[in-house]
Amino acid sequence: MPQIKHIALLGATGSIGDSTLKVIRQHPDKFRIAGVAIGSKIDLLLPILKEFDIPFAVVFDPKAAEALSKQWSGKVLAGMDGLMELVADPSVDYVLNGLVGSIGCRPTLEAIRLGKTVGLANKESMVMAGDLINAALRRHPEAGLIPIDSEHSAIFQCLAGRPVHEVDFIQLTASGGPFRERPKNTFEAITKADALKHPTWVMGAKITIDSATLMNKGLEVIEAHQLFGIGFDQIKVVVHPSSIVHSLVQFRDGSLMAQLGCPDMCVPIQYALSWPERLQLETPRLDLATVGKLEFFPPDFEKFPCLRLAFEAGRRGGTAPAVLNAANEAVVDLFLNDRIPFHKIPALLENVLGRAAITELHSIEEAVAADAWARREVVESLAS
Ligand code: MG
């Protein structure tokens, strides 16, 4: 009998959730969905609940949760309490965290404290509270944390369990976003539609804007530091527009290991679910002769100050990454609501980071407080 994983899928109606469902459809004998969590899109959720015969749903928005409970007979909970109850439910042994934003942090930490395995697509968890999550992993060696972000899955695969002292540096690839070749002096004219056009990956709005500012790569640098225990001086970013090489590890013996593939999130999601096993997956195969050439460029820290800000916040440590992450969420939200232009994003973030009283991080409450402070500060800095 194959061992079945009972999964809590957080973010079931988002882009990661969608890819996860594609993977689970291919392996109904290996993976079962014990429960799902979503923000508010219950119309998208209902067919999923039916198709996968799911008994438990958390809808973050309480009104939408109430609406769902009138249309569906399964267990429905709302809010952060609902998320925590789903993660803790005895029917769940694996938490796939595809939530967007800092809201995903507590469920990650809770799952690890309960000795469960987390497949982590919510990079904000490690950015906001990586120190706390790593401490919890040391206390609960039976728990697991497997990266899903394509770059971090690539590094995880290239490292293949080797200790970090064998590593010279890791290299995160970045598509460069839609403005890689656009002159900086035209950034003032960037529209929302321009910024929402990602060259290679199809993703949610928030992460697509983060890819355009390169903040996504910045957050991934901090995430990589926390996931692999590698210092910021040993983390490099290289621009690789076709997103075929997903990231690389330079070992001390001169070997440079890379993981390649067509950009499809089903690959890292399935690997996080099946690790250390590799299962069959119906997904496009890469034909190198058709690809022809692979291009790489150094990142432009001048044109994309968000990448520099993330390195700075990461090196400062403590609550600085939580502040940067929350300020970024608030600023991107303002941009998506047409309240600020694209080119103002980095300056607003630098401003908030500069005013923050950074402290060491001892508890999730401190991370949440730093997060809330940064969001308020963004609103106030805009009013002044
Ligand atoms: Mg990524």
Instruction: Taking each helix axis as running N to C, give the angle between helix 364-383 and helix 123-139, from 0 to 180 degrees, rounded to the nearest 10.
Output: 160
What separation in Å is there between the alpha carbon of 384 and the centre of ligand 1?
A: 35
Does residue 39 belong to any structural domain of this protein? yes
Which structural domain range is residue 12 located in?
5-147
Q: pLDDT at position 2, please?
A: 54
The whole-number pLDDT of residue 90 equals 98
pLDDT digits (tens, 9 = 90+) for 18-64: 999 999 999 999 999 999 999 999 999 999 999 999 999 999 999 99
Average pLDDT along the chain, 384 residues, taken 10 residues at a time? 87 97 97 98 98 98 98 97 98 96 94 98 95 98 97 98 97 96 96 85 84 96 98 98 97 98 96 97 96 97 97 98 97 95 96 96 95 96 80
Q: Could you tell me the distance, in angstroms and rounded to a whole number, from the CA of residue 268 to the centre of ligand 1? A: 10
Residue 150 CA, ligand 1 centroid: distance in Å: 5
Is the residue at 376 inside a domain? Answer: no
Give the distance (Å) from ligand 1 centre to CA of residue 383. Answer: 33
CATH of the domain at 64: 3.40.50.720
pLDDT of residue 1: 47
Torsion sign, CA atoms 9, 13, 15, 18: positive
pTM of the model: 0.95
CA of 217 to the centre of ligand 1 (A): 7
Centre of ligand 1 from the C-alpha of residue 149, in Å: 5
Query: How far is the centre of ligand 1, averaged over its atoms, from the C-alpha of 151 (Å)?
Result: 5
How much is the pLDDT for 107? 97
> CB pairs under 8 A, 24+ apart, for 14-17?
14/38, 14/98, 14/99, 14/100, 14/204, 15/98, 15/202, 15/203, 15/204, 15/265, 16/96, 16/98, 16/121, 16/148, 16/265, 16/269, 17/98
Question: How many domains does the chain contain in total?
Answer: 1
Asked whether the beta carbons of 54 and 48 are under 8 A apart, the reply is: yes
Other residues' Cβ atoms within 10 Å of the Cβ of residue 355: 13
- Residue 304 in domain: no
**Residue 253 belongs to some domain of the structure:** no
Q: Is residue 26 in a domain?
A: yes
> How much distance in Å is there from the Cα of 347 to the middle of ligand 1?
23
